[in-house]
Structure 1
Amino acid sequence: MIREAVSEDASLLARLLRDAFEEYRGRLEPPSSAHGKTEEVVRRELHDGGALIAESPAGPEGCVFFHPRGDHVYLDRLAVLPPYRGRGVARALMEAVEARARDMGPLPVRLNVRLALKDHQEWYARQGYAFLRHGTHEGHAAPTYVVLEKRF
């Protein structure tokens, strides 16, 4: 089941992000900001867009944030807990964001993927996302991520 997150879910969302991104600790430069997500930070992000939570009778499995940006919807922090990966949770969360984007225009959906995460880039490509441009994190001279986009 996919449901809309509410402010009271901020603590749960922060935990989901930290737990799902833990495997990237020490592997990414710059480090993922997911490691420092707090309840307060998540509440602010909810006001800038929204988030969806994937749940089953076993409990929460993952989440995704989305932010309408005028000419597109930014998909942010797609996170699935390790025991639930490979079961379609990420795809279901993405489809829910994409449905919102189609209802808003339709608007394209954009997301960022670290250059170091080639397997993630390939997975998004299989979902219909195409290269739009490179991006560079603040303080870095060379690109550190790609911006991918899916149009409807």
Structure 2
Amino acid sequence: METIRIDENFSRFDELLALILASFAYMDGVIDPPSSAHLLTPASLAEKAKAETAFAAIENGGLAGCVFLRPEPGFLYIGKLAVAPDHQGKGLGRRLLTIAEDVARERGLPALRLEARIELAGNHATFARWGFSRTAEKSHPGFARTTSIEMQKRLA
């Protein structure tokens, strides 16, 4: 499997959107509000890739996974970590996280940060196994209840 940077030479944003939607599909009907992935378009992904640092994993010519990274004060934010359903459970998410750790270290950022929906306990457990700790609870606008949690991982 090869990992590439999603940059100005990347032209597979239709396929990238399909990957993200397929990997987030299990959330439909489970999380409220619905995933922001439904608001993405190939054009908005292209803009997101210009504003952030993004990587795609490719296997046998097809996109197998991706991650978007955004520097914040004291953190590297991990967003849209997606692994194609037929590649899940094979360590690809962890490989993409390792890339995020490397980027954070290169930029002198001491920690990673991500947000996960409150309903997705399996994701919380996976991120905890990968060294993340729950640090905050948040609510989307218009919701009185907690809708997501923040998790952070300090880098050595």
1:18 aligns with 2:16: no
Within 1, Cα distance between the matches of 2:7 and 2:50?
Answer: 10
- 1:1-152 equivalence runs, <5 A: 1-7=2-8, 8-57=11-60, 59-152=62-155
Shift of residue 27, structure 1, vs aligned partner: 1.6
Which amino acid letter does the alignment assign opposite residue 132 of structure 1?
Answer: T
Which amino acid letter does the alignment assign opposite residue 3 of structure 1?
Answer: I
- SS of the counterpart of 2:102? helix
User: TM-score scaled by structure 1?
Assistant: 0.94
- SS of the counterpart of 2:143? coil
CA deviations 1:57-83 (Å, max 9, x no partner) are: 252111111111132110001111111
User: TM-score scaled by structure 2?
Assistant: 0.91
Closer/same/farther in 2, CA of residues 139 and 31 from structure 1, 3 Å limit = same
Question: Percent identity between the aligned chains?
Answer: 30
Query: Over aligned residues, Cα RMSD in angstroms?
Result: 1.3
Aligned length: 152
**Is there any run of 5+ residues in structure 1 with no aligned partner, and where?**
none
- SS of the counterpart of 1:46? helix
**Is there any run of 5+ residues in structure 2 with no aligned partner, and where?**
none
